[in-house]
Chain A
Amino acid sequence: MGNQVNELARGIIAGEEKALAKGLTFIENRKSGYRELLDSIYPEVRSCPIWGLTGAPGVGKSTITNYLVDSLANRSERIGVIAVDPTSPFSGGAILGDRVRMMDLAGREGIFIRSMASRGALGGLSPAIMDAVSLYQAFGVDRILVETVGVGQSETDIVSLADTVAVIMMPGTGDDVQTIKAGLLEIGDIFAVNKADLEGAETLAGLLQSMLSSRNGDEKWVPPVIKLVASQGQNLDTLLEKFLDHQKSLEKSGQKEKKEKMRNEMALKMHLQARFQDLYLGPLLGTEDWEKAIKSINRREKSPAYWAEKLISRSD
């Protein structure tokens, strides 16, 4: 076991693709020894810009990611992509389809793409995805792109993970209130209205503009709204420029360190939550106390809140 971990760590640090691929599986499956793996690569983690793309299914995230990766690789950058798709809550399985739009990138030097299922993480990102970023950074990439499905109200995790977040939208997906309530306005550094050749694009872009101008704060960065037709390559170069601009602005204002701190806090929090679950929740499930609590809740004797408190105090 220890040998396997050492061998993986060595390979990842040496930039071997196969070791990175195996290492990602290792941390994703939370195999015993995954902590040691993370520990041994951690001193070699080199921070690099992390860009996030989020938006509802079908708005064009993968097509846009494909363009960005292609352009950056043409500048001889090494790029790591993490494409997250949801796990089915019913079967635990997933169809990871982001490669359909990125297949021309397959096999190209300096591009590593990994599709990951959300595996039940509520905010869209699991701790394994934070760890995957660390593995990429020890492997040695110049930039990481993370693509997540925004389901509307729960993709705020991407803010803690990425330095720059682009929210991708398209016209015709609901009324104006949807746009406001989804909480997307608060998380984007860049807003892109894709499929801008469809009716309603102008209205959506206008609405975004006016909403964003009232976004509070003393931020120096004013989030741009860009209209795209990604399938025809229209305006994608502008989007790339905005990403680069935002990155410069972060570096100038000293926000970059703040983002890094936020990311580390998030990673630590996620790991702690997972440990708490292992230590406290896991051993309780199905025990006599547990059954007793459920019965009492069923009979309306005591509330779940009461029992949570009671069980926690008993478990130490």
Chain B
Amino acid sequence: MGENKIRVLIAKPGLDGHDRGAKVVAQALRDAGMEVIYTGLRRTPDQIVSAAVQEDVQVIGLSSLSGAHNHLFKKVAELLQEKGHEDILLIGGGIIPEKDRKQLEDVGFDRIFSPGTSTEDIVSYIKEKVNG
């Protein structure tokens, strides 16, 4: 009967004014048939998690170019665990050094994409993880 649309929340936490990358990803996901809730710039981890819960998304994608990812990304992961939403696929991208990537994956991120990743890779990663 119905179809299961993949719903994704794309957010930029913290003081970071550059959202071109996030918008490119949002469009690519839309073009792949997903419903993308775009929340815009300068969001707090609380706002992001609360929006994700109400929107009932299967995926959260965070973008950061400011260097504050360790703190902000981690906070989002912690809040999700606190509220019992570990089932949400948590991914990130932006300017994130290799060593931080591993650290973030240790605190609950499913995947951190590095600069230069093709949007096709992100699309197929999400589809595979969500639809199994």
Interface residues of A (CB under 8 A from B): 17-18, 21-22, 24-25, 28-32, 34, 87-88, 90-97, 99-101, 103, 106-107, 112-115, 117, 119, 278
Q: A95-B26, A103-B51 are in contact. List 20 more A-B contacts (CB 8 A).
A: A21-B53, A24-B56, A29-B2, A30-B2, A32-B1, A93-B29, A95-B30, A95-B38, A96-B35, A96-B36, A97-B37, A99-B40, A100-B40, A101-B40, A106-B39, A106-B51, A107-B50, A113-B54, A114-B54, A115-B35
Q: Report the separation of the CA atoms of residues A106 and B43 in the bound assembly, to the nearest whole angstrom.
A: 10
Residue B34 at the chain A interface, CB threshold 8 Å: yes
- A21 and B35 contact, Cβ closer than 8 Å, known pairs A106-B50, A106-B51: no
- Render B14-58 as a binary contact track against A, CB cut-off 8 A, 1 for contact: 000000000000110111111111111001001111110111100
A18's closest neighbor in chain B, by CB? Answer: B53
Cα A21 to Cα B35 with chains together (Å): 15
Q: Is B99 an interface residue (CB 8 A)?
A: no
Contact A21 B55 (CB under 8 A): yes
> How far, in angstroms, from A114 to B52 measured CA to CA in the complex?
10
A114 to chain B, nearest CB (A): 6
Contact-residue bracket for chain B: 20 to 34
Given A96-B37, A99-B39, A100-B39, decide whether A115 and B55 contact each other with a Cβ distance below 8 A: yes
Please report B residues at the A interface, Cβ cutoff 8 Å.
Answer: 1-5, 7, 26-27, 29-40, 43, 46-51, 53-56
| B55–A114 touching, CB < 8 Å | yes
21 residue pairs from A and B, CB less than 8 Å apart = A18-B53, A25-B7, A25-B56, A29-B5, A30-B2, A31-B1, A32-B2, A88-B30, A90-B31, A93-B32, A93-B36, A94-B30, A94-B36, A95-B27, A97-B38, A97-B40, A100-B38, A106-B50, A107-B46, A107-B49, A113-B55
| Chain B residue at minimal CB-CB distance from A94 | B35
Minimum CB–CB distance for A38 against chain B, Å:
13
User: Do B35 and A93 touch (CB < 8 A)?
Assistant: yes
A93 CB contact (under 8 Å) in B33, B43, B51, B55: B33
| CB proximity of A22 to chain B, nearest CB, Å | 6
Contact B37 A99 (CB under 8 A): yes
Write the nearest CB–CB distance from A301 to chain B, whole angstroms: 36
Task: In the A-B complex, list the 4 residue pairs whose CB atoms are closest, starting with the nearest.
Answer: A30-B2, A100-B40, A107-B50, A93-B30
A22 to B47, CA, bound (A): 19
- Return chain B residues, CB-CB under 8 Å to A93: 29-36
Q: In whole angstroms, how far apart are the Cα atoms of A119 and B1 in the complex?
A: 15
User: CB-nearest residue of chain B relative to A24?
Assistant: B56
**Assembly CA distance A30 to B26 (angstroms):** 25
Query: Which residues of the partner chain B approach A115 to less than 8 Å between Cβ atoms?
Result: 35, 37, 55
A99 in contact with B38 (CB, 8 Å): yes
Give chain B residues whose Cβ lies under 8 Å from the Cβ of A91. Answer: 30-33
Roughly how many angstroms separate A21 CA and B43 CA in the complex, as a whole number? 21
Q: In the assembled complex, which residues on chain A have CB atoms less than 8 Å from the CB atom of B55?
A: 21, 113-115
B2 near A31 with CB under 8 A, answer: yes
Q: Distance in Å from the Cβ of B18 to the closest Cβ of chain A?
A: 15
Residues of A within 8 A of B40 (CB): 97, 99-101, 103
The distance in angstroms between the C-alpha atoms of A19 and B54, with both chains bound, is 10
